[in-house]
Structure 1
Amino acid sequence: MQTPPEFSIRNTLEPGDLGQVAALHGKVYAEEQAFGLGFEAYVMESLLEFYRAYDPNKDRVWVVESAGKMVGFVLLMHRPANRAQLRYFILAKEFRGQGIGSRLMEEWMDFYKARAYSAAYLYTTAGLDAAASLYERMGFRKISEMKSRNYGVPLLEQYYEFVESE
């Protein structure tokens, strides 16, 4: 069995992080999903929205680094009506399948619960089966789907909500 690469996770935003998140998304989604440059631009615009609304008491980032380079990311963004949005969940290919994504989701859920949010949601696209499986294991359920041609390719966009277990 291959030794997993060393990595660390931090919860602070530092100069250069927002650009690295956009670049990582642009690279991974171009290679794996054939998304065009418009997807990276969308990520950049929405990261700016996050930055402008950032409140360290309500929002949190998880930056995964290895050898001084960002290799993964996810964030919790506060939304109106005491809701939280999960955004930008990504791991470079060589870091998948080693439990890092599960750890990030568990930490995300812990922060969500500690801040007493009343609901959570996320948007994704069909075909990201490992991520969808992880979301479902954490209690998210697919609510709706919509066909689109965003980012230069035919997509099935999906909307998930967190469903509190009884």
Structure 2
Amino acid sequence: MLITIKEGYVPGCIGRIAELHAKYYSAANGFGVAFEAKVARELADFCENYKPGRDGIWLAQHNGSIEGSIVIDGTKAETAGAHLRWFITTDAIRGQGIGSKLLEEAIDFVQTGGYQTTYLWTFSGLAAAKHLYESHHFRLVHESPGNQWGAVVNEQRFERSAA
């Protein structure tokens, strides 16, 4: 399967990224409408307020279909760091190195932009994602129970400092 990674918004990406998250996390963790709505609402807000150079969005595509995504939200980068968000791939491309390529695009962007810290929120139990983050020099800095995704999980914050 030939996958291309393209930078920038494309029509339909908000719905498709929300769909990918909703389907994956519903099956894996029982997340429901609250999670899907949160992803769609916050991603739509991000896209409406997107500023080139401050923010980044990369889409893994196959024949025009979005098969993965990653976002850097730079709106609070000066105080909190660049926020890595909406990182996901479909089952069809998982395990082929596309996630690593998406993550490398985001890291290159924050390094070029001079961001000192990049952070992301996730939760325990996602071993492959944790391995990927750690292999790209993110480190776990905080862990506690939370329910921002519509179910109680052990939330984790990973950070990566500028090299």
> What TM-score results when the alignment is normalised by the length of structure 1?
0.89
Contact 1:25 1:40 in 2 (8 A): yes
Instruction: Tell me, yes or no, if structure 1 residue 7 matches structure 2 residue 3.
Output: yes
Contact 2:70 2:88 in 1 (8 A): yes
C-alpha change, 1:151 and 1:86, in structure 2 (3 Å) is closer
Contact 2:82 2:119 in 1 (8 A): yes
Worse overlay, 47-56 or 144-153: 144-153
Cα deviation code 1:4-36 (max 9, x no counterpart): x22111102022111111111111111222211
C-alpha change, 1:118 and 1:164, in structure 2 (3 Å) is closer
Q: What's the RMSD between the two structures over aligned residues?
A: 1.5
Q: CA deviation at 1:116?
A: 0.6
For residue 137 of structure 1, what is the aligned residue in structure 2?
Answer: 135
Cα deviation code 1:52-111 (max 9, x no counterpart): 331011111111111321110001110335321100000011211111111111111111
Q: How many residues align?
A: 161
Secondary structure of residue in 1 paired with 2:31: coil
Contact 2:55 2:75 in 1 (8 A): no
Equivalent residue for 2:126, pick from 121, 125, 128: 128
Percent identity between matched residues is 37
For residue 23 of structure 1, what is the aligned residue in structure 2?
Answer: 19
Q: CA deviation at 1:164?
A: 4.0
| Counterpart amino acid of residue 111 in structure 2 | K
For residue 78 of structure 1, what is the aligned residue in structure 2?
Answer: 74
How many Å separate the matches in 2 of 1:121 and 1:20? 24
Worse overlay, 104-113 or 44-53: 44-53
Contact 2:77 2:83 in 1 (8 A): no
> What TM-score results when the alignment is normalised by the length of structure 2?
0.91
| Counterpart amino acid of residue 140 in structure 1 | F
Q: CA deviation at 1:152?
A: 4.4
For residue 112 of structure 1, what is the aligned residue in structure 2?
Answer: 110
Secondary structure of residue in 2 paired with 1:110: helix
How many Å separate the matches in 1 of 2:77 and 2:67? 32
Which runs of no fewer than 5 residues in structure 2 stay unpaired? none
| Counterpart amino acid of residue 47 in structure 2 | Y
How many Å separate the matches in 2 of 1:59 and 1:152? 27
